[in-house]
Amino acid sequence: MDCIFCKIASGDLPAFKVFEDERVLAFLDINPGTRGHTLIIPRFHSKDLFALTDADSAAIMAAAQKIAPVLIRETGADGLNLHQSNGEAAGQVIFHYHMHLLPRWHGDSLCSPWTPGTSDSNDLQQFAERISRCITD
Ligand code: 5GP
Ligand code: ZN
């Protein structure tokens, strides 16, 4: 499979690694949105959130909890965003699951991906009921 992140995971392509264990690998983003911008990927190819195994999902979040405080401490950041895209429409460019860790500073140049809209409480209620009925364990 011609996947850049699989090649990074196998060592066929270089990356500036910050963490690895048996399930995941974390390395610096080549075009960082902020200083310290880090990507966490599963070693096993999963194209997006929906393809990810429960074990890899847990390992990625555990790695994020391990790495994020170190990034904040070592960069002197004021906060940090987790960001993750699924599908072209959502801005996914590399189709190997990855979680972005973006250190943030007060007044930095990163923008929120949405502008707050308005809502109707009847619509919210109906929508919440419909979705919750569809979600199974
Ligand atoms: P997406 O838009 O798919 O969520 O994010 C893909 C990310 O992968 C981008 O932030 C991009 O800069 C990063 N990226 C793309 N190719 C490479 C690469 O070869 N090495 C590294 N370290 N990052 C990459
Ligand atoms: Zn891959």
- Of 30, 49, 101, the one to substitute when testing ligand 1's pocket (max ligand atoms within 8 A of C-beta) is 30
Closest CA to 15 of 6, 31, 27: 27
- Does the predicted model carry a pTM greater than 0.95? yes
Residue positions annotated with a catalytic role: 98
**Mean pLDDT, rounded, for 76-102:** 98
Report residues whose beta carbon is within 6 angstroms of any ligand 1 atom.
4, 15, 27-31, 85, 91-94
Percentage of the residues of the chain whose pLDDT score is greater than 70: 100
What letter represents residue 137's amino acid?
D
Q: Where are the domains of the chain?
A: 4-106
Kindly indicate whether the domain formed by 4-106 is annotated with CATH number 3.30.428.10.
yes
Q: Please report which ligand is nearest the Cα atom of 1.
A: 2
Mark out the alpha helices in 1-137 (DSSP H runs): 4-10, 54-75, 121-134
Handedness of CA 70, 91, 61, 63 (dihedral sign): negative
Span 7-35, pLDDT tens digits? 999 999 999 999 999 999 999 999 999 99
Residue nearest to atom 13 of ligand 1 (CA): 29
The alpha carbon of 23 and the centre of ligand 1 are apart by a number of angstroms equal to 19
